[in-house]
């Protein structure tokens, strides 16, 4: 009895573990015409949303037989820990397994979201079209996934009788609703899927603040879905690059203006005429032309003593002693003086 008591906790743990494993499965019920369809369900892992309409043998990760009652089952023990998008499909008898039919009465596939702990039931309740009304239950994100598809498919239901303007208005309203869905959804994969269905390629150039906010909200998501999305909308990186370019540009402009001001100041300081007054520059220009004090007095209509006073001031400011020194200065001989 004591040994049993000691082993009882281990037995309970083992039973609990087995029960947990048995609960994590993908099960389904589909009634098929075995004269047309092969009684095998194929499962594919869809690693990004752009793969939803493509099919290769490499995408198929498992298969399960459909029994005579229409039931099938998959284990989830090899599934990823976090949510991923999966697809099941059935091939016609004469078609290879990797055959995907999109649209029409022979559409042969269904999408669902699952992870390793999921217990999901796929039940085809349709009576007319094959796989057109499959209910995915057991994991709530699939309900949201279905709602997104219903919202986005409403555009097609407007019909050909609607005008182009009306269709555009409906499309814009639906895409805005999908963006709101993406903004308020708590499941990262469903949130991104809503955005994916909202024609984000046309919207993000004019609504970048929304997408920056969206990526900030899910910045810790490292799944392949977000990696691919960020490649298409590298807003944060582009903004950082733009900021870097602006900083560099402003720096270059400031540097150019500083150099310009420095050389202008340097040239200004090297020009001896900088300290001369306007009248002194005029007299200096006449001296350079060889005019005497009397001639300068007559040209400028000022007294001879005033000319002599200006000449002495010019000599002092230029550090010279005579007209000969003026003529020897290496200066631009413009007579404008202003």
Q: What is the pLDDT of residue 20?
A: 45
Are the C-beta atoms of 108 and 96 separated by less than 8 Å?
no
Residue-range domain boundaries for the chain: 19-138, 157-233, 271-338
Rounded Cα distance between 284 and 330, Å, is: 13
How do the pLDDT tens digits run along the chain, 338 residues long?
444 444 444 443 443 444 444 578 999 999 888 999 999 999 999 999 999 999 999 999 999 999 999 999 999 999 999 999 999 999 999 999 999 998 888 889 999 999 999 999 999 886 656 777 889 999 999 999 999 999 988 776 665 566 778 888 888 999 999 999 999 999 999 999 999 999 898 888 889 999 999 999 999 999 999 999 998 886 544 455 555 556 666 667 776 666 666 555 555 445 667 778 888 888 888 888 888 888 988 888 888 888 888 888 888 888 888 888 877 775 544 444 44
Query: Fold match between 19-138 and 271-338?
Result: no
Longest dimension (CA), the chain: 139
Q: Which CATH number fits domain 271-338: 3.30.420.40, 3.30.428.10, 1.10.10.10, 3.40.640.10?
A: 1.10.10.10
List the one residue out of 117, 68, 59, 115 whose CA is nearest residue 88: 59
List the one residue out of 220, 169, 170, 213 whose CA is nearest residue 195: 213
Are the C-beta atoms of 189 and 223 separated by less than 8 Å?
yes
- Which residues on adjacent β-strands are paired with residue 172? none
Are the C-beta atoms of 187 and 142 separated by less than 8 Å?
no
Are the C-beta atoms of 76 and 23 separated by less than 8 Å?
no
* 19-138: CATH architecture: Sandwich (2.60)
Are the C-beta atoms of 99 and 108 separated by less than 8 Å?
yes
DSSP class of residue 27 equals: E
């Amino acid at each position: 009895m004591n040994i049993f008591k000691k082993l009882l906790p281990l037995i309970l743990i083992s039973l609990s573990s087995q029960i947990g494993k048995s609960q994590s499965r993908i099960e389904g019920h589909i009634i098929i015409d075995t004269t047309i369809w092969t009684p095998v369900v194929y499962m594919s892992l869809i690693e990004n949303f752009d793969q939803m309409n493509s099919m290769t043998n490499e995408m198929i990760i498992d298969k399960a037989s459909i029994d005579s009652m229409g039931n099938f089952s998959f284990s989830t023990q090899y599934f990823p820990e976090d949510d991923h998008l999966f697809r099941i499909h059935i091939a016609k008898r004469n078609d290879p397994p990797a055959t995907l039919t999109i649209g029409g009465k022979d559409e042969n596939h269904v999408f669902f979201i699952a992870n390793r702990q999921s217990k999901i039931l796929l039940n085809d309740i349709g009576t007319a079209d094959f796989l057109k009304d499959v209910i995915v239950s057991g994991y709530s994100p699939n309900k949201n996934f279905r709602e997104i598809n219903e919202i986005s498919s409403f555009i097609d239901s407007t019909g050909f009788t609607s005008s182009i303007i009306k269709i555009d208005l409906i499309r814009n309203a639906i895409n805005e609703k999908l963006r709101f869905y993406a903004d308020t959804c708590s499941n990262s994969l469903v949130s991104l899927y809503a955005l994916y269905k909202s024609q984000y390629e046309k919207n993000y150039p004019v609504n970048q603040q929304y997408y920056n906010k969206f990526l900030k909200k899910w910045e810790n998501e490292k799944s392949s879905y977000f990696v691919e999305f960020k490649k298409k909308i590298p807003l944060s990186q582009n903004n950082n690059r733009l900021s870097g370019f602006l900083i560099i540009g402003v720096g270059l402009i400031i540097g150019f203006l500083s150099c310009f001001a420095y050389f202008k100041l340097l040239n200004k300081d090297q020009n001896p005429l900088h300290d001369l007054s306007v009248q002194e520059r005029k007299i200096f220009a006449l001296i350079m032309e060889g005019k005497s004090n009397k001639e300068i007095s007559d040209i400028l209509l000022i007294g001879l003593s005033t000319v002599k006073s200006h000449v002495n001031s010019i000599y002092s400011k230029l550090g010279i002693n005579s007209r000969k020194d003026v003529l020897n200065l290496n200066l631009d001989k413009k007579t404008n003086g202003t």
